[in-house]
């Protein structure tokens, strides 16, 4: 898919591919790896026939207790003297990119997990704060996850994050060593909430300019990624987690969330199809209007020639036409 011109037909095809990426995974981490690898490989720049993305990352907020021991130790080092029990941490679930270390979440130096302990602390993280804002959530909803949000706010569980000009943007950190050196032009992301009330977000760093109309189309992809991750929500987050025990009540909650996400995706796809039909219809109207205008012009020209012929045929005198310099151009 050409990221510069990612259109309606691309949305229909890409959403179908994304929603099935979790079918062979054993954990949410595994499904996340499939999602970021798919986007990294399949979104291209047709002008160069190369990849359009330098880096793709999938984040998820997770309760401190859900983190593996090494990530809990990492979070503790970032928040010395603070108790993180029960706190959400924005955690790197999967990554794919140009550098070898960008393909292993464990090799990330600064973004393996970020404790979110307060509204003021979240707002001191410009990219995270903007991500939360553009996805349509209040900081309190991220800091205190609410399982009832699917029932209370249907259709509001997915959104788009967009920074059209990455260079110099306060919402994109590491300007010199990353944005400038890697030629990052735009940042595009999408995400939403899972039944647990915890957030997920895919963030893509593009080396091509992403136009606003392209960014808008990625809202539909949020529902597809949500469907890919849902089977593991509340069950097996990490590859290292043990096989989950059966929890029929939670299974029902996840099934309801899957149904809601599928309905939202179908609504989004229907909207895309309708927009595509309208665009095609407008294009057809434009072609028809051009044909009508050409036909009118030809009829007017024929009438003009007929009038001229009639005048010349009935004239008793010689008819001579000259230009402004006195040169004879018709006789």
Task: Give the tens place of pLDDT for each residue, 224-246.
Answer: 888 888 888 878 889 888 876 65
* pLDDT at res. 105: 94
pLDDT class for 181, splitting at 50, 70, 90?
very high
Specify the DSSP class assigned to residue 136: T
149-171 mean pLDDT: 77
- Percent of the chain whose predicted confidence (pLDDT) is above 90: 37
Cβ atoms within 10 A of the Cβ of 23, count? 10
pLDDT class for 266, splitting at 50, 70, 90?
low
Does 71 score more than 90 pLDDT?
yes
Does 248 score more than 60 pLDDT?
no
- Per residue, the 3-state secondary structure of the chain, as one string, reads CEHHHCCHHHHHHHHHHHHCCCCCCCCHHHHHHHHHHHHHHHCEECCCCEECEEEEEEEEEEEHHHCCHHHHHHHHHHCCCCCCCCCEEEEEEEEEECCHHHHCHHHCCCCCEEECCCHHHHHCCHHHHHHHHHCCCCHHHHHCCCCCHHHHCCCCCEEEEEECCCCCCCCCCCHHHHHHHHCCCEEEEEEEECCCCCEEEEEEEECCCCCHHHHHHCHHHHHHHHHHHHHHCCCCCCCCCCCCCCCHHHHHHHHHHHHHHHHHHHHHHHHHHHHHHHHHHHHHHHHHHHHHHHHHHHHHHHHHHHHHHHHHHHCCCCCCEECCCCCEEEC
pLDDT class for 12, splitting at 50, 70, 90?
confident
Does 113 score more than 60 pLDDT?
yes
Over the Cα atoms of the chain, what is R_g?
29
pLDDT class for 176, splitting at 50, 70, 90?
very high
* pLDDT at res. 247: 59
Does 301 score more than 60 pLDDT?
yes
**Is the dihedral angle over the CA atoms 157, 161, 224, 236 positive or is it negative?**
negative
Task: Give the tens place of pLDDT for each residue, 25-62.
Answer: 889 999 999 999 999 999 999 999 899 999 999 999 99
Task: Specify the pTM.
Answer: 0.76
């Amino acid at each position: 898919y050409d990221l510069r011109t990612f259109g309606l037909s691309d949305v229909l095809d890409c959403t179908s591919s994304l929603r099935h990426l979790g079918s062979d995974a054993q954990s949410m981490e595994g499904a996340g790896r499939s999602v970021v690898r798919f986007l990294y490989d399949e979104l291209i720049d047709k002008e160069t026939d190369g990849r359009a993305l330098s880096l793709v990352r999938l984040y998820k907020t997770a309760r401190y207790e859900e983190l593996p021991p090494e990530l809990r130790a990492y979070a503790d080092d970032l928040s010395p003297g603070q108790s993180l029990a029960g706190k959400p941490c924005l955690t790197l679930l999967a990554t794919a990119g140009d550098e070898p270390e960008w393909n292993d979440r464990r090799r990330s130096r600064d973004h393996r997990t970020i404790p979110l302990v307060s509204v003021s602390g979240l707002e001191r993280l410009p990219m995270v704060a903007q991500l939360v804002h553009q996805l349509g959530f209040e900081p309190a909803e991220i800091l205190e996850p609410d399982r009832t949000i699917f029932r209370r706010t249907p259709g509001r569980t997915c959104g788009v994050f967009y920074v059209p000009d990455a260079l110099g943007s306060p919402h994109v950190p590491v300007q010199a060593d990353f944005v400038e050196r890697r030629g990052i032009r735009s940042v595009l992301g999408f995400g939403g909430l899972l039944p647990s009330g915890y957030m997920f977000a895919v963030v893509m760093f593009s080396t091509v300019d992403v136009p606003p109309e392209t960014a808008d189309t990625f809202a539909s992809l949020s529902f597809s990624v949500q469907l890919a991750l849902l089977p593991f929500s509340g069950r097996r987050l990490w590859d290292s987690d043990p096989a989950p025990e059966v929890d029929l009540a939670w299974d029902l909650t996840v099934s309801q969330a899957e149904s809601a996400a599928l309905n939202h995706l179908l609504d989004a796809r229907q909207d895309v199809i309708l927009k595509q039909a309208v665009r095609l219809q407008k294009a057809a109207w434009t072609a028809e209007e051009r044909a009508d205008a050409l036909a009118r012009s030809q009829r007017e020209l024929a009438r003009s020639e007929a009038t001229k012929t009639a005048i010349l045929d009935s004239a008793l005198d010689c008819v001579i036409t000259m230009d402004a310099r006195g040169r004879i151009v018709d006789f």
